[in-house]
Amino acid sequence: MAGGAVTELSSGKMFGGYNKRYKHYSNTLGCSMNFHIYFPNSDSNKSFPVLYWLSGLTCTDENFIFKSGAQRAASEHGVALIAPDTSPRGLNVEGEADSWDFGVGAGFYLNATQEKWKNWRMYDYVVKELPKLLSDSFPQLDTSKASIFGHSMGGHGALTIYLKNLDKYKSVSAFAPVANPTNCPWGQKAFTNYLGDNKSEWEDYDATHLVTKFPGVSASILIDQGEDDKFLHDQLLPGKFEEACKNANVPLLLRFQPGYDHSYYFIATFIDDHIRHHAQALRLN
């Protein structure tokens, strides 16, 4: 498949719009990649703002589209949903599938610097290649009006990408994000392998560190966190991010939800709030 060529794999109608899955060859990652777009219902020729969803560990481009129920609110607010995959696939790098929290399905939305993992460049894929592909291939999408959100590892990705690209995204939100990866086992494992031992490079992909470096955040950051999430205290560390936001005077709405865990049941429960949060920012900017 030539770079830039997009092939439609499937299409299904939902809430008046369409879930469509596509395949293309990524020059950034060196392999074919799948992604989903939910196009809202529209009787006009107007273009839709885009809202990128970044999924968590072990996920693909399908989990969010199948499980979140986000399409109802997206259709209501006229926002297109973009769901990319979480890592390169099919490269057959030795060890890429040895553990669930590293390698395939665990790209951590960074640009790896270690030679073995040189194709793991999900940051560039999400920030640069995919938006250009969407702009070139889908005239009904207005990629100049974009926001970003995600879950767990994808929440980490959404926060870090937003903070490093305030000119590209109108708003950000997250469900149970890995908020301080330099201080948790998931992050330390991934960063050591992808980035090496230079801890200053790690901080470049840690929202708790980044939020103090980019004081231009004006839109409120929305985070929902389940109180019964088994990963809350050792992996996610939202309190560290909350403290950093306070010190940097960055507006943050951190909501702890009693009884909820880390699953898509939790995401589906509060997804409409997040869609509204982004729809408002996309309309106002």
What are the pLDDT digits (tens) for 183-236? 999 999 999 999 999 999 999 999 999 999 987 788 899 999 999 999 999 999
| Confidence at 46, pLDDT banded by 50, 70, 90 | confident
Is the pTM for the entire model greater than 0.85? yes
| Confidence at 41, pLDDT banded by 50, 70, 90 | confident
Identify whether 262 is a catalytic site residue.
yes
Q: Domain locations in the chain?
A: 6-282
User: Token pair of 133, please?
Assistant: 């592909």
pLDDT digits (tens, 9 = 90+) for 58-79: 999 999 999 999 999 999 999 9
- Kindly report the number of other CB atoms within 10 A of residue 62's CB atom: 15
- Choose the catalytic residue: 26, 55, 152, 173: 152
- Choose the catalytic residue: 24, 36, 262, 277: 262
HEC per residue, the chain: CCECCEEEEEEEEECCEEEEEEEEEECCCCEEEEEEEEECCCCCCCCEEEEEEECCCCCCCCHHHHHCCCHHHHHHHCCEEEEECCCCCCCCCCCCCCECCEECCECCCCECCCHHHCCCEHHHHHHHHHHHHHHHHCCCEEEEEEEEEEECHHHHHHHHHHHHCCCCCCCEEEECCCCCHHHCHHHHHHHHHHHCCCHHHHHCCCHHHHCCCCCCCCCCEEEEEECCCCCHHHHHCHHHHHHHHHHHCCCEEEEEECCCCCCHHHHHHHHHHHHHHHHHHHHHC
Find the mean pLDDT for residues 115-139: 97
> What's the Cα-to-Cα distance from 242 to each of 82, 147, 208, 219, rounded to whole Å?
27, 21, 8, 15
Identify whether 152 is a catalytic site residue.
yes
CATH class belonging to 6-282: alpha beta
CA-CA distance, 108 to 102, in Å (whole number)? 9
Tokens 């129920």: give the residue. Answer: 69
The rounded percent of the chain whose pLDDT value lies above 90 is 93
144: phi then psi, degrees, rounded to nearest 5:
-75, -15
- Choose the catalytic residue: 229, 274, 277, 278: 229
The HSE-up count of residue 177 (CA atoms within 13 Å, CB side) is: 36
Find the mean pLDDT for residues 8-23: 97
Residue from 73, 161, 150 nearest 122 by CA: 161
pLDDT of residue 239 exceeding 70, the answer is: yes
Specify the pLDDT at position 216: 76
